[in-house]
Amino acid sequence: MKIPPVKGMRDFYPPEMSVRNYIMGHWKAVSQRNGFLEYDGPILEYLQLYTLKSGQEIVEQLFSLTDRGGRELAIRPEMTPTLARMVCQRINSLPRPIKWFSVPRLCRAERPQKGRLREFFQWNIDIIGVEDVVADAEIIFCTLDFLQAVGLTAKDIVVRISSRKLLSEALIEIGVPAERLDPVFAILDKRSRLPQEAFEQILSDQIPDQSIRSQVQTLMAISTLDEVALLARSEGACKAIAELRRLFEILHRMGVGQFCRFDIGIVRGLAYYTGIVFEVFDADDQLRAIAGGGRYDNLLAMFDGPNLPATGMGMGDCVLEILLRDKGLIDLQRIQQGLEYYVAYTEPGLMDHAIGLAAWLRRAGRSAGFCYRPVALGKQLKQASDQGCRYCIIIDRQVEAGQVILKDMSTGDQRSVTLDELLRQPG
C-alpha cells in the first residue's frame, strides 16, 4: 500500500533542500549581523496558550492532540505566544533590549493554495523593551536587509507602512465609537481584497451612520502622510503622524527609504497590534504578503507579564520562494552543494591511490569524492561534472613520484601538481 504525503506538507528532496537552506542561511546570517540572538521553543505547546489569547481564526486552524497524560496540546501555529511565554518566564534576568530571532517550523490546518501550506517555516525577529520607533525602523531595515541580500530591489518589492494608533485616533475623530474599533479594523483590513460594494455593505453593519461611513471612505482614500496631517486635530493623531514621519526619516537615513510607502490601508488582521504596522508585497501585487509585522505593546501583559513595549516581524518561506523563482533569483547550480574535488584515475590499478587521496583531502578539511568502481576516465569525468565538482584530480603513473594532474572543471585547464601544492589551492 502506497502512503502519500500528508495534505499541505512538503518533501524536501536535495534540490528543494538546497533552496530551503539558501533561504534559511540568509535569514540567520542577516539576523546575526543586525544584532539578533537566536532562540527556539518546543513544537508543541499547551492548547491554552493559543485559545486564551490568539484570534479565533488561528484557533480554528490548530492541529491539536491529547497526550497520554490527558494534556491538551497543539502544534505551534505561530511563534509569538511562545516568545511571550519564554520572555515572561525569565523577564527579570534577561538583558534589555531583548533582540531575538527564530526560524520555527509552524503548522496551520488551513486549505492549501498558492503560497499557503499547512506546514511552513517562518522567520521571526522581535525587539522587546524599546518604545521608540527606532526599534520599528530596525525591524523594517532588517527585513529589507534580507530581501536585498537574496537579490530583490525596490523594483521588485514595496513595504507598506501605517499606524494603528493613527487610524484609531482618526476614526474616533470621525465619530466611530471606541468599542467598535477592533471589528472596524478587521473590515478595513479587507478593503483592498473586496469589491467596493461588498466592502460598503459589511462596513455599514458596524457603522450605520451614512456620513461617518463616507468620512471613513474619504480617510481610506488618502495616499500621503501630508494629507492625513491636514485632517488631524487630536493630540494623539498628531503624535502618531510625528512618529510615522520620524520612522520614514530613519528608514531614509538607513538607505532603504526607496522601498517604503505610507499606506493607510495597512491594518493587519491580528488584534494585538497597537502602533506601527507594515506589510511587504511584491511590486506587481500578484502575490500574498511576503512579510508582515508591527508593534504589539500589550502582548506581554496579556500573558501575565510586565507591560513591555514590543515590535516584530514574521516572514514565511512559501510566498518568498515563489517570488524568488519568479524573479529568476534562485540559481540551483550555484546554491547546490557540490564536492570541491573529484579524484579520478586513469587505470583500475590506481583506484586505491584515489581512495587514499580523497580521504587525505577530507582529513585536511576539503570535500572530496571518487568513483566506487573502476570505470573509464571519461565516465569519471562525467560523474565529476554531473556532481558539480570544481576540480578533478587525475591520478596517473606519476603518482609514484608524488605528482597528480589538477583539472579545473569550469575552464578545462589542467596542470601537474604535487600533493602539497593541492592544499595550497584556495578552498
Partner RNA sequence: GUGAGAGUAGCUCAGUUGGUUAGAGCAUUGGAUUGUGGUUCCAAGGGUCAUGGGUUCGAAUCCCAUCUCUCACCCCA
Judged by CB, which is closer to RNA: 250, or 280? 280
Using the rule CB under 7 A, which residue among 68, 90, 193, 363 binds RNA?
Answer: 193
Residue with cell string 540559481:
331
Using the rule CB under 7 A, which residue among 88, 231, 377, 419 binds RNA?
Answer: 377
Using the rule CB under 7 A, which residue among 166, 250, 318, 354 binds RNA?
Answer: 318
User: Of 98, 101, 78, which is closest to residue 30 (Cα–Cα)?
Assistant: 101
Q: Give the pairing type, strands 341-345 and 368-370.
A: parallel
Query: 6-30 burial, b if ≥16 CB within 10 A, otherwise e?
Result: eebebeeeeeeebbbebbeebbbeb
Contact, 342 vs 393, CB < 8 A? Answer: yes
Judged by CB, which is closer to RNA: 252, or 325? 325
User: Residue 73 is inside which H or E element, if any?
Assistant: strand 72-75
Piece in contact with RNA (CB under 7 A), picked from 38-46, 186-194, 240-248, 298-306: 186-194
How many of the chain's residues bind RNA (CB under 7 A)? 59
The reply to whether 26 sits near RNA by the rule CB under 7 A is no
Contact, 407 vs 394, CB < 8 A? Answer: yes
Q: How many CB atoms lie within 10 A of CB 80?
A: 20
Least distance between RNA and beta carbon 65 (Å): 17
List beta partners, residue 342.
Answer: 369, 392
Helix (H, G, I), strand (E, B) or coil at 263: coil
Judged by CB, which is closer to RNA: 148, or 403? 403
Piece in contact with RNA (CB under 7 A), picked from 36-44, 94-102, 163-171, 309-317: 309-317
The reply to whether 157 sits near RNA by the rule CB under 7 A is no
Provide the grid cell at 359. 580521504
Whether residue 183 has a cis bond before it, omega within 30° of 0 = no
Site for RNA in 264-283 (CB under 7 A): 268-270, 279
Least distance between RNA and beta carbon 382 (Å): 4
Piece in contact with RNA (CB under 7 A), picked from 30-38, 110-118, 222-230, 354-362: 110-118
**Binding track over 35-74 against RNA, x by CB under 7 A:** --------------------x-xx----------------
The reply to whether 340 sits near RNA by the rule CB under 7 A is no
User: Of 114, 121, 289, which is closest to residue 189 (Cα–Cα)?
Assistant: 289
Using the rule CB under 7 A, which residue among 315, 323, 330, 354 binds RNA?
Answer: 315
Using the rule CB under 7 A, which residue among 132, 173, 189, 326 binds RNA?
Answer: 189
Contact, 380 vs 344, CB < 8 A? Answer: yes
The reply to whether 84 sits near RNA by the rule CB under 7 A is no
Q: Which residues contact 322 (CB under 8 A, 6 or more apart)?
A: 114, 115, 287
Using the rule CB under 7 A, which residue among 214, 386, 421, 427 binds RNA?
Answer: 386
Least distance between RNA and beta carbon 84 (Å): 15
Judged by CB, which is closer to RNA: 217, or 346? 346
Contact, 85 vs 300, CB < 8 A? Answer: no
Query: 111-149 burial, b if ≥16 CB within 10 A, otherwise e?
Result: eeeebebbbbbbbbbbbbbbeebebbbbbbbbbbbbbbe
Least distance between RNA and beta carbon 388 (Å): 8
Using the rule CB under 7 A, which residue among 93, 196, 210, 411 binds RNA?
Answer: 411
Helix (H, G, I), strand (E, B) or coil at 330: coil
Instruction: Summarize as ranges the residues that interact with RNA (CB under 7 A).
Output: 4, 7-8, 55, 57-58, 108, 110-117, 120, 122, 186, 189-190, 193-194, 268-270, 279, 288-292, 314-319, 346-347, 375-379, 381-382, 384-386, 394, 396-397, 405, 407, 409-412, 414
